[in-house]
Amino acid sequence: MVYLAGAGAGDSGLLTLKAREVLERADVVIYDRLADDEILKFCPNAKKIYVGKEAGKHTLKQEEINRLLVDEARENKNVVRLKGGDPFVFGRGGEEAIYLRENNLPFEIIPGVTSAIAVPAYAGIPVTHRGVATSFAVVTGHEAPNKPESTINWTKLATAVDTLIFLMGIANLPQIVEKLIENGRAPETPAALIRWGTKNNQEVFVTTLAKAPDAKILPPAIFVVGEVVNLREQLKWFDTKILFGKKILVTRARAQASKLSSALKNLGAEVVECPTIKIVAPSDNYSAADAAIKNLRGFDWIIFTSANGVENFFKRLKVYGLDARALNKVAAIGSATAEKLLNFGIIVDVVPKDFVAESLAESLKDFVADKKILLARAEVAREVLPDALKSFGAEVTIAPIYKTAPEIPAQINFNSVDLITFTSSSTVENFVATYGVAPLKKILAAAIGPITAQTLKNFGVMPAVVAKEFTIGGLVDAIKNHYGK
């Protein structure tokens, strides 16, 4: 089966559920130049073939792309032909579908959100609006308006509809404007040029039809002509988000980065995931943890100091055929850890006011004398908590349930980064070990709490943002407050 699927206008969130579904089970993905490569994360195991076209540069001719689709499909594979926008809006999807039919191969069309509508919408410009515009036309701007046999009927097009949207027309913009005015469109008609629409670096130039060529804008951009452009001042929403235009680096482990990344993207930021750590098995391959699990009923309390610790601990419980019923009293260092425990059916007995080891120890002070305590934590951690518990008369067993290891470094261009986020001391230490301290001397840093902030200070870096609540939500709020000023 060959799926001719639209990838949407740019923002990866505009990908349809059906397109994501076929990408996830694709054997081969043949894709164009996409506005957001995040979409390719939905098909990590597929063979990927780039056939994109840029101005003046075609990776493959259309005939070669057609042949490639047939060759891959005949090997009994699920093939996804992924196109920007919609496959039937200047995407040559019809040609590819006809070629597949001629070769007796099955296909399905999966529409995409076209940039002709999505990009103006992200700029606060509706293509129709009651009392303003009741019709619109989508026109290719790729065709030279002055060629002898133009397929565009300029005489009728110029005044036939209320809103005109030209795609791929920046190179021909002066000629397009000339043709429209020549055929009756008023020179003072409102117009807008929108570059990198739906993306964090979106640019919107509001002008008039006659003055549009003076904007000197570079592609990729679309050109909108019509009275609806005047609605932008009332309807603009995307480029007013608090983090719009900010590029933020997330150093959290890859498996955990999505929550922070999603929150920042929802506030308008461009997010670059640059994990500096990964979560792996402890050096003793769980021998201490397994020994404790085999004697779990012998512990009065079990303490978790991170969501990672909870996740890995319950994986080991499952190995031994145990579940939440095997635990006695439970304490968690903070709300995120407590929330993770709730996912496993555990309502914690103690959560401190401040989400640090010192506060957790103080919260347990009156409950642990002569008690046996199991501390499930990272292999390398501060000794503040076990030392304090021992001073209160507790017998403490430390069970390393995971450790952090350096992640393979990514190639990062730090010149355009506005902020780097750190969610633990290990993310700071591994970042510095990989990239040095130089980027932190010129880029703002955000820390999830005072311990992480202190680690930054140890490297001579004063964080610009420190969360008051030591959670991902608290970190996002602190970043909002910083830029909200």
pLDDT in tens, 64-82: 999 999 999 999 999 999 9
Distance in angstroms (rounded) separating the CA atoms of residues 134 and 156: 17
Cα separation, 296 vs 313, in Å, equals 12
Domains observed in the chain: 2-112 (3.40.1010.10), 117-240 (3.30.950.10), 247-276+408-484 (3.40.50.10090), 280-406 (3.40.50.10090)
Which pLDDT does position 56 carry in this prediction?
A: 56
Sheet of 47-50, strands arranged across: 47-50, 28-31, 79-83, 2-6, 107-110
Tokens read off for 345? 């059916």
Query: Among residues 48, 53, 259, 480, which one is catalytic?
Result: 53
Distance in angstroms (rounded) separating the CA atoms of residues 330 and 165: 60
Q: Which two three-digit tokens encode residue 263?
A: 């929150």
Q: How far apart are CA 27 and CA 40, in angstroms?
A: 13
Nearest to 253 by CA among 453, 430, 485: 430
Q: What is the pTM (predicted TM-score) of this model?
A: 0.82
pLDDT of residue 55: 57
Longest dimension (CA), the chain: 94
Q: Which residues, other chains included, contact 485 with Cβ-Cβ below 8 Å and sequence gap of 6+?
A: none
Task: Give the model confidence (pLDDT) of 220-263 as tens digits.
Answer: 899 999 999 999 999 999 999 999 999 999 998 877 778 899 99
- What's the pLDDT score for residue 409? 78
Which residue type occupies 87? P
Query: Is residue 462 annotated as a catalytic residue, yes or no?
Result: no
Peptide bond into 120 cis (omega under 30): no
- Residues in the chain with pLDDT values less than 50: none
pLDDT in tens, 95-132: 999 999 999 999 999 999 999 999 999 999 999 999 99
Is residue 478 within 8 Å of residue 467, measured between CB atoms? yes
Give me the catalytic one of 86, 168, 179, 371.
168
* Residue recorded with tokens 């642990």: 368
Query: What pLDDT score does 355 carry?
Result: 83
**Cβ 463 vs Cβ 369: under 8 Å:** no
pLDDT value for 170: 92
User: What is the structure's pLDDT at 52?
Assistant: 85
Give residue-wise pLDDT tens across range 20-39: 999 999 999 999 987 688 89
- Containing 264, the helix (H) or strand (E) segment is helix 257-266
Rg of the chain (C-alpha set): 28
32 in catalytic set: yes
Q: In this predicted structure, what is the pLDDT of residue 5?
A: 97
Task: Please tell me the predicted confidence (pLDDT) of residue 54.
Answer: 66
Pairing mode, if any, of strands 247-250 and 2-6?
Answer: unpaired
Residue 258's pLDDT is what? 85
